[in-house]
């Protein structure tokens, strides 16, 4: 009987250094890295998602980066199929699969399964459109706190989809855990006084590399609606490009929003049974 496949999972809030640690572990332990990041799958979203350069990767194979165009949807179900395949392939080569990233919903889907498919409801989605992200998240938290804890409160598309499922089927039922893997966890969870300066430095670096130009190009190609689904950096800079905020407000606003997101990620980490 075949034993469980060993994998290494590296988790932590945004800006905590997961990617660099994954490379260190891969070099030391003969590993390959599977990105667990819902935005790094998209080509052209390089600065805003802080993709590693070839030099940063240090010769380590990285998977699930730059595999879709921005106008294509990549779901948690897609990730599970791809990650399971890659884990098998990497392990069969005698290497250690290393999963690293901040999209905790993907980790949850891989390890706990995906709820039964629910058909889309255009009527429900239309009724949710007037609601802000904060209002959508509050409704989910009220109706299904466990589901809310798994979601990025700034990912509007996923919030609407989650609320659509809840309104159709009620709270997400308990799922059967994936018992195929022997998981070693590395948790990187720096305190606020350490993480906040990192977030601000990361943002300043992103703007110096041309983040505004990247967002401008993405907006011109794919439009504001899609831009708003691509995460905080793209949404906030998009507001500047539309004249809705000043350039001076970008770094303070993004630092505050990213810290809120990091707190949400920290909450998920605390709930995780390691």
Structure tokens at 100: 């690293």
Beta bridge partners of 209: none
Question: What's the whole-model pTM score?
Answer: 0.81
> What local confidence, expressed as pLDDT, does residue 3 receive?
81
C-alpha dihedral over 156, 159, 165, 170, to 10 degrees?
Answer: -160
Average pLDDT of the chain, as a whole number: 91
Structure tokens at 83: 């990650």
Mean pLDDT of 93-99: 97
DSSP code, position 40: T
The length of the chain, given as a count of residues: 274
- Just give the CATH number of 5-114+176-190: 3.40.50.300
> What local confidence, expressed as pLDDT, does residue 243 receive?
97
Mean pLDDT of 102-121: 82
> What local confidence, expressed as pLDDT, does residue 176 receive?
61
DSSP codes, 169-213: H-SPPP-----SEEEEEEE----HHHHHHHHHHHHHHHHHHTHHH
> What local confidence, expressed as pLDDT, does residue 1 receive?
45
Range in 77-91, 157-171, 227-241 with the lowest mean pLDDT? 157-171
For 143-160, write each residue's pLDDT tens digit. Answer: 888 778 778 787 888 888
Residue 72 and residue 41 in contact, taking contact as beta carbons nearer than 8 Å:
no
Provide φ and ψ at 7, rounded to 5°: -135, 155
CATH class of segment(s) 192-263: mainly alpha
How many angstroms separate the CA atoms of 83 and 87, rounded? 6
> What local confidence, expressed as pLDDT, does residue 233 receive?
96
Q: Is 248 exposed, middle or buried (0-12, 13-18, 19+ CB in 10 A)?
A: exposed
> What local confidence, expressed as pLDDT, does residue 174 receive?
58
Range in 57-61, 166-170, 182-186 with the lowest mean pLDDT? 166-170
Residue 38 and residue 106 in contact, taking contact as beta carbons nearer than 8 Å:
yes
Structure tokens at 146: 């466990």
Question: What are the extents of the domains in the chain?
Answer: 5-114+176-190, 122-169, 192-263
Q: Is 34 helix (H, G, I), strand (E, B) or coil?
A: strand
User: Given a cut of 80, is residue 178 above it in pLDDT?
Assistant: no
Q: What is the largest CA-CA distance in the chain?
A: 62
Could you tell me the pLDDT band of residue 173, with boundaries at 50, 70 and 90? low
Could you tell me the pLDDT band of residue 2, with boundaries at 50, 70 and 90? low
Could you tell me the pLDDT band of residue 116, with boundaries at 50, 70 and 90? low
Structure tokens at 122: 């255009």
């Amino acid at each position: 009987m075949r034993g469980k496949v060993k994998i290494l999972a590296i988790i932590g809030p945004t800006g905590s250094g997961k990617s660099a640690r994954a490379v260190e572990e891969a070099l030391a332990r003969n590993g390959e890295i599977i990105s667990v990041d819902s935005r790094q799958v998209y080509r052209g979203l390089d600065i805003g998602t802080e993709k590693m350069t070839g030099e940063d990767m240090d010769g380590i194979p990285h998977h699930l980066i730059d595999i879709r165009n921005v106008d294509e949807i990549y779901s948690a179900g897609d990730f599970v199929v791809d990650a399971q395949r890659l884990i098998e392939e990497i392990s069969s080569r005698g290497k250690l699969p290393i999963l690293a990233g901040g999209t905790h919903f993907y980790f949850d889907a891989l390890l706990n399964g995906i709820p039964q498919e629910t058909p889309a409801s255009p009527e429900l989605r239309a009724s949710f459109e007037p609601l802000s992200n904060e209002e959508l998240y509050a409704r989910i938290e009220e109706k299904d706190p466990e589901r809310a804890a798994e979601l990025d409160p700034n990912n509007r598309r996923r919030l609407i989809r989650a609320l659509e499922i809840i309104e159709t089927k009620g709270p997400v039922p308990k799922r059967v855990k994936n018992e195929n893997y022997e998981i070693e966890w590395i948790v990187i969870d720096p305190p606020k006084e350490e993480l906040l300066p990192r977030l601000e430095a990361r943002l300043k670096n992103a703007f110096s590399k041309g983040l505004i130009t990247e967002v401008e190009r993405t907006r011109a190609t794919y439009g504001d609606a899609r831009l708003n689904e691509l995460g905080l950096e793209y949404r906030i800079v998009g507001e500047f490009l539309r004249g809705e905020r000043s350039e001076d407000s970008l770094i303070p606003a993004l630092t505050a929003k990213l810290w809120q997101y990091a707190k949400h990620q920290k909450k998920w980490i605390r709930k995780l049974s390691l």
